[in-house]
Amino acid sequence: MEGLTTTITPPAQTLRGYFIPYIVPSHISNLVDIAKLFASRGVQVTILTTHYNSLRFKHSINNLGYQIDVEIVDFPFKEVGLPEGIENYTDATPDQASKVFQALLMLQNPMEQAIRAAKPDFIVSDMYYHWSADLANQLAIPRLVFHVKCYFALCAAEVLSRFAPHQKVESDSELFLLPDLPDPIHMTRSQLPEWIQNRNPFSVFKEKIDEGDKKSYGVIVNSSYELEKSYADFYRDNLGRRAWCIGPYSLHCDKVNINININININININGTNKDDHPCFDWLNKRGQGEVIYVSFGSLSCFGAAQLLELASALETSGHPFIWVVRNGEKLLPDGFEARITEQNKGVLINGWAPQVKILEHPAIGGFVTHCGWNSTLESLTAGVPMITWPLSAEQFYNEKLVTRVLKVGVEVGANKWSPSIGASTDLIEKDKIQRAIKELMSKESEAEERRHAVKEMSKAVRTAVHVGGSSSNNLTALIQELHCLKAAQGTTILEQPKN
């Protein structure tokens, strides 16, 4: 077994792990899902977070029958000048975002103290808590790092860092090749995060994250080997990184009878309404198979009035019924738009929360207009729904290349400018481009049919991976066994540092 000088049969002792989610809903839901998976395999789990962030998932871990504790550290509202309750980027205004980040940095000390006092056997932390790598090494325990990213995005970011091809082009719009990857992938400088395009204070923080990754024992990836085989191999063999693909987490959790449908876009449904009773399903049930377009851009994305006008006009005249999750942008929509589409039965607007997984799984859904966040992308692949890719921020332009150039199950809308996660996108996509992408994705031509067939096959493979004997299930078993071995080896065997 890599990382040990000898093989030790895992003892029956209980493993104790600390799980530290980042203060963004998509990161919280993912790491809580991972914690549930470990707990379902007999690991004693503690989730370390702040009070208001814990309210997003506490209801989902109650009465599971597993050892899952929640430990709270105080969020420094007063110290950074935030009103009480704003502990999350989703709840913050754009002007408050920098204060949330400042508070994040201040959480290091109380979190470190909590972990030192608990003396767990391992740590699973979000990439943003880079300091947990040094802490784990001081405690002589493994730290596993979690990114809300796929293998492809991890590989693309790494080769970009190593070879800097974006520095060899003369303009932001000139294409360059990402070297060494298994497939020929081209990008432009304008599609890269701003801290890569031009060095800024976050560039320094990102370097600390990367250094923390290299010091860590390995990476947990929300993907399946079948979906990204060549990039999982490349990450291990060419880049020398240890990683375990154990996803999709949500399917895993279904297999162990865990309710993991934590919504990542809103506050907890305190009224106890069943998410499957959402009124959109009455409308969907009356639509034909594969004729509806689902449109959603995640919990942090924001469009201005001009972009909302272009998108609304494109959807209204597309000839396809649609469901559009507008997320607090309804006041910027064209006058009379909602009334017209409702009267003409063309579409449904959802303001705020939407049961996205269940919508994508509905047979009436034929396409997904998405910002290419990895959670949404994987949910679409799992549901067998082809995509119109409209990346905005984070690693979403990498995900677009995976969907359209590698897996070939998506159509690009033509986005070319990276935007901050919080704040309106400045890359205006005109109505004609949106309509072209919808027509191409939803057509009955052979290329569109091939996309639909390919994504259905991927859905089958991904679902098989989480069954007993599947690749993701086996990877989870192997990882937990390895952690048992590391615990048994402490004090009896000298551990080798993982090779990165």
Active site residue ranges: 27, 126
Distance CA 147, CA 254 (A): 22
Phi, psi of 35 (to 5 degrees): -60, -40
Answer yes or no: are the C-beta atoms of 323 and 348 closer than 8 Å. yes
Distance CA 289, CA 277 (A): 20
User: Kind of pairing, strands 365-370 and 292-296?
Assistant: parallel
Q: What Cα–Cα distance (Å) separates residue 133 from each residue in 21, 203, 291, 483, 491?
A: 14, 19, 48, 16, 20
Burial class (CB in 10 A: 0-12, 13-18, 19+), 386: buried
Q: Is 451 helix (H, G, I), strand (E, B) or coil?
A: helix
Long-range contacts of 438-441 (CB under 8 A, 24+ apart): 438/293, 438/314, 438/315, 438/318, 438/320, 438/367, 438/369, 438/388, 439/318, 440/411, 441/366, 441/367, 441/386, 441/387, 441/388, 441/410, 441/411
Q: Is 408 helix (H, G, I), strand (E, B) or coil?
A: coil
Distance CA 403, CA 102 (A): 35
Q: Which residues, 6+ apart, have CB-to-CB distance to 102 below 8 Å?
A: 80
Q: What Cα–Cα distance (Å) separates residue 216 from each residue in 10, 135, 174, 219?
A: 22, 10, 36, 8
- SS3 percent helix, strand, coil of the chain, rounded to 5, is 45, 15, 40
Give the residue from 60, 239, 244 showing the smallest Cα distance to 161.
239
Does the N-terminal peptide bond of residue 248 adopt cis geometry, omega within 30 degrees of 0?
yes
Question: What burial letters (b/e) apply to 44-71, b meaning 16+ CB within 10 Å?
Answer: bbbbbbbebbbebbbebbeeeebebebb
Distance CA 498, CA 228 (A): 23
- Tell me the chain's radius of gyration from C-alpha atoms: 22
Q: Is 312 helix (H, G, I), strand (E, B) or coil?
A: helix
Give the residue from 236, 262, 235, 234 showing the smallest Cα distance to 249.
262
Q: What Cα–Cα distance (Å) separates residue 422 from each residue in 81, 83, 101?
A: 19, 19, 12
User: Kind of pairing, strands 243-245 and 218-221?
Assistant: parallel
Distance CA 133, CA 312 (A): 46
Distance CA 357, CA 223 (A): 16
